[in-house]
């Protein structure tokens, strides 16, 4: 009997990280699958509770020459952040004051604010340099006025609205660690919101998700975000009325971000 005949699910497993065809031992899972599940669950928990390495991320972004600000939410620690999503959506008063001071010193109008937030997966922030390394130089080259990149600790997506309002930006892009799945503890999400308000409905945001090595690559994500940002600013809208029609990544987009041999 061939290996394929012995395990008819093996062919499907080659195309997905999903747990399919795990088999059974009596009334339970085989030991191998049970251990794999336990390991994946531990990785997901670690991703939620780990602290974001903003120092390492700042070093990784140094080559872009973008100024960086750091803020935090009203959630005082990780345990509170997990239990109180409302605190993660609001800027800490000290951070709000720092952004106000920056804006007072730089009152010129801005087009785009970029917020990098830990969210529910600090591991996902490893994907940020690949996205911003392709996206920000293109936006600069096209003449868009960008706010400093803002690193946000204990932050939810909506915290980006307060950042954009404080800095006077027309649009905010939030890159944030997504809630880990059992096969994806390192997935980054990106939310585009035009004209954010103190209370912005989720229907007013566009999302590009599953940015990770086994999902959407950084350059493709940057292309989709570039398309969404340009069209959100041109049409003065985002969310449900703005459909992603970006198509395939053109060869001229961020050629420096092409993988070797690409």
Binding residues: 157, 178, 207
Cα distances from 135 to residues 67, 103, 152, 223, 244, in angstroms, run 15, 23, 19, 7, 17
Helix axes 159-167, 93-105, angle to 10 degrees: 30
Which DSSP string corresponds to 205-253?
EEEEEEESTTSB-HHHHHHHHHHHHHHHHHHT--STT------SPPTTS
Cα–Cα distance measured from residue 66 to residue 70, given in angstroms and rounded to the nearest whole number? 13
| Residue found under tokens 């293109």 | 138
Task: Enumerate the known binding-site residues for adenosylcob(III)alamin.
Answer: 157, 178, 207
Backbone φ/ψ region at 23: left (φ over 0), alpha (ψ -120 to 50), beta: left
Q: Which helix (H) or strand (E) holds 103?
A: helix 93-105
Cα–Cα distance measured from residue 187 to residue 227, given in angstroms and rounded to the nearest whole number? 21
Which residues are CB-contacts of 181 (< 8 A; sequence separation ≥ 6)?
A: 44, 187
């Amino acid at each position: 009997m061939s290996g394929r005949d012995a395990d008819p699910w093996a062919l499907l497993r080659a195309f997905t990280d999903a747990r399919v065809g795990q088999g059974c031992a009596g009334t339970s899972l085989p030991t191998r699958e049970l251990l794999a599940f336990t390991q994946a669950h531990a990785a997901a928990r670690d991703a939620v509770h780990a602290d974001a390495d903003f120092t390492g991320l700042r070093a990784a972004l140094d080559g872009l020459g973008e100024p960086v600000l750091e803020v935090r939410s009203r959630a005082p620690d990780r345990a509170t952040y997990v239990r109180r999503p409302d605190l993660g959506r609001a800027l800490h008063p000290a951070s709000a004051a720092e952004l106000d001071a920056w804006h007072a010193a730089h009152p010129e109008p801005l087009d785009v604010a970029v917020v990098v937030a830990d969210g529910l997966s600090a591991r996902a922030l490893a994907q940020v340099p690949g996205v911003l390394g392709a996206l920000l130089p293109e936006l600069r080259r096209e003449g868009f006025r960008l706010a400093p990149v803002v690193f946000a600790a204990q932050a939810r997506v909506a915290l980006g609205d307060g950042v954009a309002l404080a800095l006077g930006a027309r649009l905010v892009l939030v890159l944030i660690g997504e809630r880990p799945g059992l096969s994806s503890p390192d997935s980054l999400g990106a939310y585009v919101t035009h004209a954010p308000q103190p209370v912005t409905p989720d229907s007013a945001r566009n999302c590009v998700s599953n940015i990770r090595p086994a999902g959407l690559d950084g350059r493709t994500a940057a292309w989709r975000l570039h398309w969404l940002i340009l069209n959100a600013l041109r049409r003065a809208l985002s969310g449900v009325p703005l459909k992603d029609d970006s198509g395939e990544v053109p060869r001229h987009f961020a050629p420096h971000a092409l993988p070797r041999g690409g």
